[in-house]
Each structure stands twice: as structure tokens, then as C-alpha cells.
């Protein structure tokens, strides 16, 4: 127990770094995932094909392998970055974007097709149909699964610790070494700080789900 | 086919064919609709009349033949198609009002976003249209709060707000309770009187008699008869039409 209190500064620093990784990757994943979903339902066959291919590859590949590619293979191919955080953000956001794309796509499919037909018949372009009519209605169905994806993202960010990024889990590894007699307590501390992010997200999902239920 | 219109056709379909897999839903359709004409398309279910209606603004693609609106051939997907659709009003069986927008916003969305009309002007015109179809007082509500008949009248106002050259109605009263059918038909009859070019797919024979200039009878993907309502209802030429009408009369 004392090991936890002694290490609070490291925990706090790791917590902030994890939060940073999750927020930046989350924002990128949301934008990229929505774009991928839009491509998936677009009338252009090439865009649909690309999106399907990307999503299937990214979400069916183990995250560790994606990390390996972005941290070790990308630099060999000439994509250099100063910090491994960049590699972690690339890996986390490209992986999570595939899940976001699937959630948004299923949300888009939950909007009755007549809505899009009506929008097209008053002369809206594809982007207008999606942006003004379909996505605003898809949001309701999409938010709860999106929050689950974000919770998974927070936990997945711990893989970065194994790729030279010092975040919550990375500190956990360091502290376990320096407090060899209290590894269990150190790891309980690590878990606690993860829960500090994921539990509020879960509560938010619960709250939004209730909101949606009332609005219908 | 008794009536053949040529020259100044506003909507013109030439040798249009469409298949759903093995099913030949539109067989060599030729149809010309002049400006100001009201054409009612009737026929048994599965005869292809809805598909025909939806093909005119390319909600359904066709395999071959061509469709032209006001002399312009229907473009493939893209901006040009969107432009053309803005000139073709469409009213659906299931209303399809934008569920997340108020009644007023449903009517103003097209003019503002598609035509770039200023918000104030669009709202003024929308209110006038909503008054005209008798739902002005519902403007701030959401579609789900209105009855089916009211929703369909809003849908008509939404289409009219784009100032279309032609209005398509795809079974506009088929999803309505009997007592709401008339309120929608009255709006449509008024519209016909004002000179709107209309293509109406319907089972409402009363409307066909009252408002149609021509009745087009379809069966098995073909136009079997094309005549005036008077002629069609009193003296149908084909056995298919006689059979269809006899079933209507005995019920």
C-alpha cells in the first residue's frame, strides 16, 4: 500500500500521458472513422472498396502487430519521428478508426432509407444527404457503441508501454522493478488510474443511453 | 396506346427497360407528359408503377432507354443529378419527413441548403406553403407529433418549396387511415387545378376521375392503356384493364 503513495507523482504523470494518448488518438480515430464510414456508403465503388479493405484489415489485426509496424517498420520506410508517442498515436488511431467506422456505418444503416431518398429528391448532394439528414439521426444510435470503443482505446493505449512510451503502464513496469516487494500493490495502483478514466466513460455511456431512450 | 404526345414534353421516357435480376419490371416504357398535365398511373401491385415513378428522378436506375426532364437527359450520379432532382418534387408513400427536424425546418431545408435562399425568405415562403396545405399551426412541432395525413401534407409542402417543374406522387395515400386520405387528395386536386404537372401513382380511382387528364394503366411492367379517365373507366380496351376494373367494382 505504501508503495502506491510513494509513487503518486509517477502515477499522476503516467495518468496524464495515458489521457493525452487516448484523447489525441480518440479525436483522430473519430474523424478518420467517420470519413471511412462515409466512404463505405458512398456511390463511388473505389471508395467503398478501399474503406472495406482498410476496416477489415485494421480491425482484424492484433494491436501489437500494428504497434510494431508503426514503431519499427514505418521509421525503416523513412517515416521518422522524434518521439515514440507519435508512433503510438498512429497505431492507436489507425486501429481504433476501423472500429469507429463500423459503429458509424451501423448507425447510418439504422436510419430508414426513406430519409436519404427524401433528401436526395429535394436535390441534396451526397455530402449534404449524409451531413444534414443521415448522420445527425445516426448519432443517437452511434454514441453508446462509440463510448465503448473509447473505453477500449484507453485500455489499448497500455500497449504503448511496451513500445518505449512512458505512460501509465510503462510507469507500472518501472515501478514494479523498483518496488519488487510490492508488485501487486503497484499494479493495483495502475489499474486504479485506468479505472479513473474508463469508469466515468462507462457512466457517460449509461447516461447517454437513457437520454436516447427518452428522446425517442 | 391511344394518346401520343410529342414536341413539348416536360417528362419523356423512351424505350425504358429495367430488370431486378430475372424479373423484367419495366418493359419498353414510352411515356410523354406535357407541361400542366396530370397523369395518373394505376395498375395491380407489382406492375412496376412505383418503379416507373421512382425512375423519373433516378431513385431507381434503369438498364436502358432514356428519361428526360424538360429536354435534359437524366444525368448519372453527381452534382448534375442533384440539380435536376431539385426541379422534380417527390412525395412518398411513407412521407419520409426528416425525423430530427421541425415541420418548418423540413420545408426550409431544401431551399436554404440546395438553392441558397436566405433563411428569412425561406421561412416566410415555407409558412405560406404550410398554411396552404392547412398545417401552418404545426410549424414548430416534430414530424412524429403529427397525424399521417398532416405529415403527408407537410411532405407535399416540402416538395413544393423547391418550386419544382413536375411533382411525382408514389402512392401518397396508401399508408393513410381512410379518414385522412381525403385531406391529402384535396391538396393534390387543388394543386392539379393550379396547373402543376403531376405524375401520380395511386389506387384512388376517385382522384383519377376528378383530377387526371390521362390515365396510364400498367400491368406486368408494361403500359397497357393510356387514355382519358372517361375513356378508361367506361370503355377499357384491353382484357387486363377490364379484369382490373371489374375487381375494383365488385369490392
Where residue A167 falls among pLDDT bands split at 50, 70, 90?
confident
B189-214 pLDDT, tens digit per residue, is 999 999 999 999 999 999 999 999 99
Global pTM value:
0.83
Residues of chain B neighbouring A119 (CB-CB closer than 8 A): 98
Average pLDDT (B133-161) is 95
Give the pairing of strands B72-73 and B23-34.
unpaired
Looking at domain A2-215, does it have CATH number 2.40.110.10? no
Interface subset of B 175-234, CB within 8 angstroms of A: none
Q: Average pLDDT in the B6-27 region?
A: 88
Specify the pLDDT at position B7. Answer: 53
CA distance B200 to A163: 66
Helices marked H in B57-175 — which ranges? Answer: 79-86, 103-115, 119-132, 148-160
Which chain A residues contact residue B98 at CB under 8 A? 115, 118-119, 133
Q: What is the DSSP letter of B75?
A: P
Cell numbers found for residue A35: 470519413
pLDDT digits (tens, 9 = 90+) for A190-216: 999 999 999 999 898 888 877 766 554
In chain A, domain spans: 2-215
Query: How many Cα atoms sit within 13 Å of A135 on the Cβ side?
Result: 15
Region label for B72, one of left (φ > 0), alpha (ψ between -120 and 50) or beta (otherwise): beta
- Sequence-separated (6 or more) residues with CB below 8 Å from residue B32: B4, B5, B6, B9, B11, B12, B13
Do the chains contact at B85 and A120, CB–CB below 8 Å? yes
C-alpha cell at B119: 433563411
Q: For chain A, what percentages of helix, strand and coil (3-state, to nearest 5) are there?
A: 85, 0, 15
Which of B 52-111 lie inside 8 A of A, CB atoms?
A: 57, 59, 77, 79, 82-90, 92, 94, 96-100, 109-110
Q: Pick the residue from chain B with its C-alpha nearest to A128.
A: B113
Cβ separation B114–A132 shorter than 8 A: no
Tell me the per-residue pLDDT of A26-75, one tens digit each, with 9 for 90 and over.
Answer: 999 999 999 999 999 988 899 999 999 999 999 999 999 999 999 888 88
Task: Establish how many alpha carbons lie within 13 A of residue A195's alpha carbon, considering only the half-sphere containing its beta carbon.
Answer: 6
pLDDT band at residue B231 using 50, 70 and 90 as cut-offs: very high
pLDDT band of residue B238 (cuts 50, 70, 90) is very high
Q: Exposed (0-12), middle (13-18) or buried (19+): which is B45, by Cβ within 10 Å?
A: exposed
Q: Are strands B88-91 and B166-170 parallel, antiparallel or unpaired?
A: parallel
What percentage of chain A exceeds 90 in pLDDT?
58
Chain B residues in contact with A129 (beta carbon < 8 A): none
Mean pLDDT rounded to a whole number for chain A: 90
H or E element at residue A145: helix A135-156
For chain B, what percent of residues have pLDDT higher than 90? Answer: 86
Question: Which residues of A fall below an 8 Å CB-CB distance to B?
Answer: 43, 112, 114-115, 117-126, 128, 132-133, 136-137
Task: Answer yes or no: do A123 and B85 touch at CB < 8 A.
Answer: yes
Strongest mean pLDDT among A74-83, B7-16, B44-53, B148-157: B148-157
- What average pLDDT score do residues B81-85 get? 91
pLDDT: which is higher, B95 or A180: B95
User: Cα(B162)–Cα(A122) distance, rounded to whole angstroms?
Assistant: 7
Under a CB-based contact definition with an 8 Å cutoff, are residues B16 and B61 in contact?
Answer: no
The percent of residues in chain B predicted with pLDDT above 70, rounded, is: 96
Task: Name the pLDDT band for B4 (thresholds 50, 70, 90).
Answer: very low
Amino acid at each position: 500500500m505504501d508503495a502506491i503513495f510513494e509513487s503518486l507523482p509517477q502515477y499522476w504523470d503516467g495518468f496524464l500521458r495515458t489521457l493525452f494518448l487516448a484523447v489525441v488518438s480518440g479525436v483522430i480515430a473519430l474523424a478518420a472513422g467517420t470519413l471511412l464510414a462515409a466512404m463505405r456508403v458512398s456511390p463511388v465503388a473505389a471508395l467503398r472498396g478501399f474503406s472495406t479493405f482498410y476496416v477489415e484489415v485494421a480491425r482484424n489485426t492484433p494491436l501489437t502487430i500494428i504497434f510494431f509496424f508503426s514503431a519499427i517498420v514505418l521509421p525503416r520506410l523513412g517515416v521518422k519521428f522524434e518521439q515514440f508517442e507519435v508512433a503510438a498515436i498512429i497505431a492507436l488511431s489507425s486501429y481504433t478508426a476501423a472500429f469507429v467506422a463500423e459503429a458509424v456505418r451501423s448507425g447510418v444503416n439504422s436510419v430508414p432509407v426513406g430519409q436519404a431518398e427524401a433528401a436526395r429528391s429535394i436535390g441534396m448532394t451526397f455530402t449534404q444527404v449524409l451531413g444534414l439528414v443521415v448522420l445527425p439521426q445516426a448519432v443517437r444510435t452511434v454514441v453508446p457503441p462509440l463510448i465503448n470503443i473509447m473505453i477500449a482505446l484507453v485500455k489499448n493505449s497500455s500497449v504503448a508501454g511496451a513500445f518505449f512510451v512512458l505512460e501509465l503502464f510503462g510507469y507500472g513496469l518501472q515501478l514494479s522493478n523498483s518496488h519488487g516487494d510490492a508488485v501487486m500493490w503497484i499494479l493495483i495502483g495502475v489499474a486504479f488510474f485506468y479505472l479513473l478514466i474508463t469508469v466515468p466513460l462507462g457512466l457517460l455511456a449509461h447516461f447517454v443511453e437513457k437520454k436516447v431512450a427518452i428522446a425517442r | 396506346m391511344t394518346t401520343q404526345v410529342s414536341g413539348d414534353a416536360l417528362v419523356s421516357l423512351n424505350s425504358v427497360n429495367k430488370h431486378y435480376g430475372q424479373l423484367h419490371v419495366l418493359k419498353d416504357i414510352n411515356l410523354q407528359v406535357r407541361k400542366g398535365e396530370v397523369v395518373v398511373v394505376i395498375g395491380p401491385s407489382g406492375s412496376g408503377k412505383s418503379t416507373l415513378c421512382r425512375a423519373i428522378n433516378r431513385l431507381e436506375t434503369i438498364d436502358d432507354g432514356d428519361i428526360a426532364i424538360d429536354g435534359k437527359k437524366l444525368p448519372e450520379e453527381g452534382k448534375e443529378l442533384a440539380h435536376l432532382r431539385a426541379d422534380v418534387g417527390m412525395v412518398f408513400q411513407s412521407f419520409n419527413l426528416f425525423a430530427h427536424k421541425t415541420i418548418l425546418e423540413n420545408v426550409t431545408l431544401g431551399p436554404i441548403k440546395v438553392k441558397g435562399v436566405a433563411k428569412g425568405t425561406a421561412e416566410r415562403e415555407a409558412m405560406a406553403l404550410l398554411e396552404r396545405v392547412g398545417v401552418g399551426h404545426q410549424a414548430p412541432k416534430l414530424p412524429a407529433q403529427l397525424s399521417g395525413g398532416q405529415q403527408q401534407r407537410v411532405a407535399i409542402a416540402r416538395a413544393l418549396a423547391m418550386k419544382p417543374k413536375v411533382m411525382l406522387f408514389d402512392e401518397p395515400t396508401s399508408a393513410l387511415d381512410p379518414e385522412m386520405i381525403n385531406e391529402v387528395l384535396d391538396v393534390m386536386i387543388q394543386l392539379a387545378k393550379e396547373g402543376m404537372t403531376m405524375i401520380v401513382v395511386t389506387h384512388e380511382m376517385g382522384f383519377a376521375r376528378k383530377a387526371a387528364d390521362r390515365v396510364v394503366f400498367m400491368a406486368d411492367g408494361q403500359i397497357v392503356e393510356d387514355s382519358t379517365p372517361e375513356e378508361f373507366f367506361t370503355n377499357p380496351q384491353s382484357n387486363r384493364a377490364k379484369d382490373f376494373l371489374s375487381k375494383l367494382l365488385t369490392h
